[in-house]
Structure 1
Amino acid sequence: MLNFLVIDKIIKDALVEDMPYGDITTDLLIPQESTSSAVLLAKENGILCGIDVAKRVFEILDGSIKFEKLKTDGDNIQKGDVLAKIQGKTRAILMGERLALNLLQRMSGIATFTNMLAQKIKGYRATVTDTRKTIPLLRMLDKYAVFVGGGKNHRYSLSDAVLIKDNHIKAVGSITEAVKRAKENVPHTMKVEVEVRNMQEFEEALASGADIIMLDHFTVDEMKKAVEKAEGRVLIEASGNINIDNIEEIAKTGVDIISVGSITHSVKSLDISLDFVD
C-alpha cells in the first residue's frame, strides 16, 4: 500500500520545507566526514507504523547510511524498545531526525488509536474505517497507518467512489434524483453511497436503490431501526461523534461500517525519540 514514488516526493518536499538553505547549525558544527550511530527508541507503548518511511528519509539524505530495522510495521511495541539502529554521516542523521520522527510518530499514533477502536468492536460484524479528514498531502501515509492498526480504508479521494452528501442533495433537489443520476452514469464497478440525517431520508435512500447508506449523527435507537428496515439489502455505515467510549454500543446495533474522523484529524502522536549512542 505504500507507493514510494509518491512517498519520496513527500519526503523531498518536506526536507526542502525544513531546510530550504541547508541546516545552518549542523553545517557550522559538524565536519562533513563525521559519522555517528543512533537508535530510534519507543517512549510509550503502541503499534509501530512508518518504520520504512523513516528509513527512506535517511536514505534520501545519505545513500550510504545503514538503517537496521529491529521492529516492523504492525508490531506491538513497548516503552524502551529499540526500533532501529542507524549508522552513517552525522549531518544526514541530524538533518533527517525531525522529519523521520514527525512521520513515524504520526503514523504510529494513528495505527495505535485505530487498533484501540478495532479491539473494542472485535466480535461484532462492524469494521472501523477512516475518512478523508487527513492532513493534506499525507493521505497515503494516514490511510496506510489505519490499515496497519487493524482498520479499513474508506475512499481515498473524490475520484474513486460516489458518496452523495447533504450539499449534493440540496444542489440536485432530492436523494431520489441524486441516486438516479449517479446510477445512470457510474462505472459498473463502483457503488453509490448516500449520507442521510434522519429516518425519512434513510427510507428515501433505501427506496432509491443506494448501495450503502451513511447514518450521520443518528442515535443508537435510530441506528437499530435503520438496520432492521434495511434487512441486509444495503450496507449501513454509522458516522458522527464516534469515539472510544461509544463505539462498542454503536457496533451492537448491527451496522456494517463505523467511520471515525478523529482517527486521522485528531491523532495523538506516539512518543518516539532518536538518540545518539556511543
Structure 2
Amino acid sequence: MLASLPDIMLEPLVRAGLLEDLGRGADVTTNALIGPDDKVRVVVRSRVAGVLAGLDLVRLSFHLIDPSLRFERCAAEGASIAPQDVVAVVEGSARSVLTGERVGLNFVSHLSGIATATAEIVRSVHGTKAQICCTRKTLPGFRAIQKYAVRAGGGISHRMGLDDAILIKDNHIALAGSIQNAVERARAYAGHMTKIEVEVDTPEQLQELLSVNGVDAVLLDNMPPKPCGSVLLWYKAKCLPRLRAVLPPKRLRLLPKPGLICFLWGG
C-alpha cells in the first residue's frame, strides 16, 4: 500500500498555491455571485483513465480555505481509475468550495499525470527484473510530491538530493583526471553509509570502471540502444553490481529483456 506524504510536507505547497490564486484579496467572482449561506455537494470525477495521485492536496486545498468543509476520499492513491469514476466528494459552503477547488485540482491533475505516465513505462518492462527510477529533474519545491507520484505509478526514486549518495558524472571525472582518481577521492570522503555510483557514456568507459574498486552502482548515460543492449547482456552474464541506465522511455522496447537494472526517467 502506498504511504501518503504527511500533511506537514504538503501544507506549505498548498498554502502557497492558494495565496497565489487569491492574490490581494478574496475570490471576487464567487463572492459577488454566491451567497454566504449557500451550500453545495460536489462530486469529483475523473475525466480520463489513469492512475490517481495527490488527493491529499485536494483535501488540504479545501480545508485551508474552510476547515468546516467535509471531504470524503472515494479512491485510493495509486489506484487505476476509469473515466467518470468518483474520486472524492466535498460538501459545505459553496463559496469555500469554489474558492479552493482550482488549486486542489491543479495538484491532483499534475500528480496523476505523472503517476499515469510512470505506470505506462512500468508496464513496458513487466515480466523482467527491471525497475523504473526517477531522477532529480523535478520542479523546484515540488520534488517530494513529484517523486511521490512516480511511486504511485509503480516507479521508485533515485537520489532525492545531492546529499543522498555520491554520483560521479562526466564533469567530475574530467576535473579529477580519471575515473580511478574520482572514485578514490569519493571513497576517501564518503562515510560508510554513503553509496558511490559512476556515470559512463560508452562501453569503453564501463570496462575502465570495472577495474576500479569501491563502486556500488553504474549508470549508463543516454547510451544508444545497440551498445546499451550489448552492455546489458554482457553485464547480466557477468553478474556484476547494480546497473542503471538513463534512457528515453521509447528506447526501452529497443533493448533486450533487462536483468538487474534500474531505468532512470526524468525530464
1:206 corresponds in structure 2 to 210
Q: Rate the CA distance shift 1:82–1:229 in 2: closer, same or farther, 3 A.
A: closer
- Distance in 1, matches of 2:256 and 2:99, equals 45
2:239 aligned partner: 232
Q: Greater relative contact order (Cα 8 A, min sep 6): structure 1 or 2?
A: 1
Distance 2:31 2:109 in 1: 26
Shift of 1:162: 1.1
In the alignment, what sits opposite 2:163? Answer: 159
Is 1:260 the equivalent of 2:265? yes
**Offset at residue 121 of structure 1 (A):** 0.7
The answer for the alignment partner of 2:30 in structure 1 is: 26
Matched residue SS, 1:190 = coil
Does the residue aligned with 2:62 lie in a helix, a strand or coil?
Answer: helix
Is 1:142 the counterpart of 2:146? The answer is yes
Identify the residue that residue 4 of structure 1 maps to in structure 2.
7
User: For the Cα contact (< 8 Å) 2:226–2:255, is it kept in 1?
Assistant: no
Structure-2 separation of matches of 1:145 and 1:111: 5
Provide the identity percentage.
33
**Cα 1:25–1:54 shift into 2, 3 Å:** same
Taking the aligned partners of 1:205 and 1:33, their CA distance within structure 2 comes to 69
How far 1:233 sits from its partner (Å)?
A: 2.5
Distance 1:109 1:229, change over 3 A: closer
Give the ranges of 4+ consecutive aligned residues of structure 1 lying more than 4 Å apart after TM superposition: none
The Cα of 1:218 is off from its aligned counterpart by: 1.5
Taking the TM superposition and a 5 Å limit, the aligned residue runs for 1:110-129 are 110-129=114-133
Alignment deviations for residues 36-64 of structure 1 (CA, whole Å, 9 cap, x no partner): 11111111111111112211111111111
Matched, 1:215 2:220: yes
1:13 pairs with one of 16, 29, 33: 16
- Could you say which residue in structure 1 is the equivalent of 2:71? 67
Deviations 1:69-107 (A, max 9, x none): 111112111101111111011222111111111110111
Question: 1:14 Cα deviation (Å)?
Answer: 1.2
Of 184, 188, 198 in structure 2, the residue corresponding to residue 184 of structure 1 is 188
Unpaired runs of at least 5, structure 2: none
Q: What do you get for the CA RMSD once the two structures are aligned?
A: 1.7
Residues 154-205 of structure 1 deviation map (CA, whole Å, 9 limit, x = unaligned): 1111111211112222222222111111111212122111111112221222
d(CA) in 2 for partners of 1:12 and 1:117?
32
Secondary structure of 1:155's counterpart equals: coil
Normalised by the length of structure 1, the TM-score is 0.88
Of 24, 31, 46 in structure 1, the residue corresponding to residue 50 of structure 2 is 46
Q: Which runs of 5+ in 1 are unaligned?
A: 266-278
